[in-house]
């Protein structure tokens, strides 16, 4: 019988599971704190849990870590882990340290079905959704590993921010995402503020609405184009949820969001979406002059990370800066994403880029090998 993975539960889920074992809620709280706050996976070390509960858990449950295929540390402090999630699939998490925060970028799916043109994950195809336990394990393992590695004093967190911007479209894996978010926010878990947990979506409109009602955290939307005609080509999901609908859902999201703006991500592609007329059209779009609803927002311009199959090129620095100026002159806060972890393929859109095409997963599995190309220089 497969053991129950306790990382699959938020606190309510763990309470229900403990009730099945004949235990009260306060036992679930103790267990949840041992796992998430102290990083403990061994029941025999959970000293204040009743021995009878520890004995039961030993028989039926576990705290299941992901198995690490590789770890790469960049000269700038960024660390990328590649995890094996079975059947030839790999996912990645990336830790990005800054002076005042530590951000972990987490994956929600093995591969991605959205197929954005500029994204190397999208080009690999979709394998499967991650479970809640696999999403949470990325945070659980990294947080407790880094606390030890950085010799942090008791009570100090290594990870202060989480962004769901790794592999996958998180809102297409909503049922697993929701308990994972709740675990991140729970004071008995990681206690992260809603402002410091960001879900990034390519625009799954009905799920943006559900997230607003169920668990409003900070929202980032991959916009990448100011018109439906262009966005249809870059983000195929736009054909289902066009810009006007997307902006309406963004505006409604702000009613309950922890921040008073939406972050729009915009990948800068030379000659495709980086011209002055694109910037002007974006200004018209988000200020409501384009006929869509006005959305208070910030823009994050992302230098494209080229990969051979894309047929696209990175916009020049000058082009990015003059594009940013047009947005800024219109009063829109605009930043240009610093590229971090370039030397380890950890930049946006490069996640698991060195794992070969996902459509060959079965073939790789039969060889029991996931090919990882050493990265000495390199979503
Ligand atoms: S950018 Fe995000 S949604 Fe688009 S293909 Fe890549 S992982 Fe999927």
Residue linked to tokens 């992901």 = 66
Average pLDDT over residues 242-253: 97
Average pLDDT over residues 2-20: 97
Q: How many residues does the chain have?
A: 379
Cβ atoms 183, 11 nearer than 8 A: yes
User: Which atom, in ligand 1's list, is nearest to the CA of 201?
Assistant: 3
Q: Where are the beta strands (DSSP E) in the chain?
A: 4-5, 61-62, 67-73, 79-84, 90-98, 101-105, 109-111, 126-129, 161-164, 197-201, 218-222, 262-268, 297-303, 333-336
Cβ atoms 190, 139 nearer than 8 A: yes
- In angstroms, the Cα distances linking 297 to 87, 253, 259, 320 are 40, 12, 10, 18
Residue linked to tokens 């926010």 = 185
Kindly give the interhelix angle for 25-36 and 51-60, rounded to the nearest 10 degrees: 70
User: Which atom, in ligand 1's list, is nearest to the CA of 351?
Assistant: 7
- Candidates 230, 204, 319, 352; CA nearest to 282 is 230
H helices within the chain, ranges in order? 11-20, 25-36, 51-60, 120-124, 132-149, 174-185, 205-214, 228-234, 243-253, 276-286, 317-329, 361-366
Q: Using DSSP bridges, classify how beta strands 67-73 and 79-84 pair: parallel, antiparallel or unpaired.
A: antiparallel
Q: For residue 377, name the pLDDT band (cuts at 50, 70, 90).
A: very low
Segment 72-110, tens digit of pLDDT: 999 999 999 999 999 999 999 999 999 999 999 999 999
Verify whether ligand 1 is closer than 6 Å to residue 171 (CB atom).
no
Segment 122-166, tens digit of pLDDT: 888 999 999 999 999 999 999 999 999 999 998 899 999 999 999
Q: Which of 109, 121, 201, 205 to mutate to test the pocket of ligand 1 (most atoms within 8 A of CB)?
A: 121
Cβ atoms 106, 177 nearer than 8 A: no
Ligand 1 centre distance from Cα of residue 46 (Å): 40
Q: In this model, does residue 363 exceed pLDDT 70?
A: no
Cβ atoms 292, 285 nearer than 8 A: yes
N- to C-terminal Cα distance for the chain? 37
Q: Hey, is 278 helix, strand or coil? A: helix
pLDDT top residue among 364 and 232 = 232
User: Which atom, in ligand 1's list, is nearest to the CA of 112?
Assistant: 8
Verify whether ligand 1 is closer than 6 Å to residue 121 (CB atom).
yes
- In this prediction the pTM is 0.91
Residue linked to tokens 């200004």 = 283
Q: In this model, does residue 337 exceed pLDDT 90?
A: no
pLDDT of residue 151: 93
Residue linked to tokens 């990448």 = 224
Verify whether ligand 1 is closer than 6 Å to residue 122 (CB atom).
yes
H helices within 289-369, ranges in order? 317-329, 361-366
Nearest CA to ligand 1 atom 7: 168
User: Which positions are catalytic?
Assistant: 92, 348
Ligand 1 centre distance from Cα of residue 54 (Å): 42
Segment 225-243, tens digit of pLDDT: 999 999 999 999 999 999 9
């Amino acid at each position: 019988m497969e053991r129950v993975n306790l990382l699959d539960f938020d606190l309510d889920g763990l309470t229900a599971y403990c009730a099945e074992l004949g235990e009260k809620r306060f036992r679930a709280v103790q267990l949840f704190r041992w796992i998430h706050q102290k990083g403990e996976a061994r029941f025999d070390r959970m000293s204040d849990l009743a021995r009878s509960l520890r004995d039961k858990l030993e028989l039926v449950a576990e705290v299941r870590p992901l198995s690490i295929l590789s770890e790469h540390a960049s000269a700038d402090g960024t660390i990328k882990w590649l995890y094996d999630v079975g059947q030839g699939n790999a996912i990645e998490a990336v830790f990005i340290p800054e002076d005042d925060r530590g951000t972990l970028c987490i994956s929600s799916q093995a591969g991605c079905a959205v197929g954005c043109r500029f994204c190397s994950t999208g080009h690999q195809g979709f394998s499967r959704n991650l479970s809640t336990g696999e999403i949470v394990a990325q945070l659980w393992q990294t947080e407790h590993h880094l606390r030890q590695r950085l010799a942090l004093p008791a009570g100090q967190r290594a990870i202060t921010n989480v962004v769901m911007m790794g592999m996958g479209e998180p809102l297409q894996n909503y049922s697993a995402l929701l308990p994972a978010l709740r675990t991140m926010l729970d004071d008995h878990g990681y206690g992260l503020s809603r402002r410091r947990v960001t879900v990034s979506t390519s625009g799954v409109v009905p799920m943006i609405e559900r997230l607003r009602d169920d668990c409003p955290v900070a929202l980032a939307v991959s916009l990448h184009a100011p018109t439906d005609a262009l966005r249809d080509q870059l983000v195929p999901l736009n054909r289902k949820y066009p810009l006007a609908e997307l902006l309406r859902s963004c505006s409604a999201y702000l009613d309950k969001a922890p921040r008073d703006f939406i972050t729009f991500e915009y990948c800068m592609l030379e000659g495709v979406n980086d011209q002055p007329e694109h910037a002007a059209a974006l200004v018209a779009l988000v200020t409501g002059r384009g006929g869509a609803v006005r959305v208070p927002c910030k823009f994050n311009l992302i230098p494209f990370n080229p990969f051979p199959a894309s047929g696209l090129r990175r916009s020049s620095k000058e082009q990015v800066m003059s594009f940013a100026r047009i947005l800024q002159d219109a009063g829109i806060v605009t930043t240009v994403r610093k590229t971090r972890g370039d030397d380890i393929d950890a930049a946006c859109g490069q996640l698991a880029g060195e794992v070969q095409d996902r459509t060959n997963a079965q073939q790789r599995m039969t060889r029991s090998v996931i090919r990882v190309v050493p990265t000495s220089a390199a979503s």
